[in-house]
Structure formats: structure tokens, C-alpha cells
Amino acid sequence: MTHSTYESTVLMSLSVQTNTAAGLGPKSPGAGPGAGGAPLSPMQASKASSETQVSSEADEKIQRGKEDRAGVQKKTFTKWINSYLEKIGLKVDELNNDLRDGIKLLKLLEILSGDKQAKPDRGSARLVKVNNINKALAYLK
């Protein structure tokens, strides 16, 4: 019972990674250099999960606890962000994907601080996105 929960967590995080890679542009799975932490292939994934089975029960329990907690945190934080973004008709569905261009992040900071933030740049170039994230980080300093 608990074990299948763990496996579904692994599957979930896998599908997240796949989405992330797909969201990066042209549909050429795994080919894009932008993929960064290259998504696991199904082969690697099953290897990873069988390795986890081998590890001691205690390790597994700790690992599962960490993954659960990250999953719960992700849910809570997404709802928290949306409780603010909905005021201006925006919404975040998947935390990692939806914040990566920095636009919604800057909007969130604008609502929270009540200050007009540096206007986010629009565009799909990596540099534009990095620039938006930098503006957000600069504000948090």
C-alpha cells in the first residue's frame, strides 16, 4: 500500500520532468541542449526504482518522507500563489513550468508588495526569462 504510493510519486515526478522538457520548445525529446538535467528515460527510471527497493527500509522511509513533503509543499505553495494571482485573473498550474519565464513571479511580487515591479519582458528567449527571474531575485534582496 505505502509502497505503491511511493511508486506513484516517482511516476509523478517523472511526468513532471517530461513536461518540463517538452515545454522548452521544439518537440525533439531529449535532443535540446536546454533540457539541462536530462529527463530520465523509462529504462533509467525502472533502474532507479529497483535500486531504491534494494536500499534499506529505513533509507526508503526517509526518502519517501522527503518526497511526500516536497509534494505537499508544492501543493500548498501553488494554492498560496494562486490565492493572490487570482485577484488579477492569473493562475499557476505547475509550479516549475509556470514560473520559469519570471512573468507570474514578478506579478506575484507586485501584488504582495503593493509596489509596481519592473515590467517583465515578454519573449521566449532564455535570456529574457533569466532577466525576469533576476528582477524578481533583485527585489527579494
Positions in the binding site for other proteins (CB under 8 A): 69-70, 72-77, 79-83, 95-96, 99, 108-109, 112-113, 140
Instruction: Pick the closer one to other proteins by CB: 45 or 109.
Output: 109
Q: Hey, CA dihedral for 103, 109, 111, 117, is it positive or negative?
A: negative
Task: State in angstroms the smallest separation of the CB of 25 from other proteins.
Answer: 20
Instruction: Pick the closer one to other proteins by CB: 31 or 62.
Output: 62
Task: State in angstroms the smallest separation of the CB of 73 from other proteins.
Answer: 5
Instruction: Pick the closer one to other proteins by CB: 22 or 27.
Output: 22
Task: State in angstroms the smallest separation of the CB of 12 from other proteins.
Answer: 13
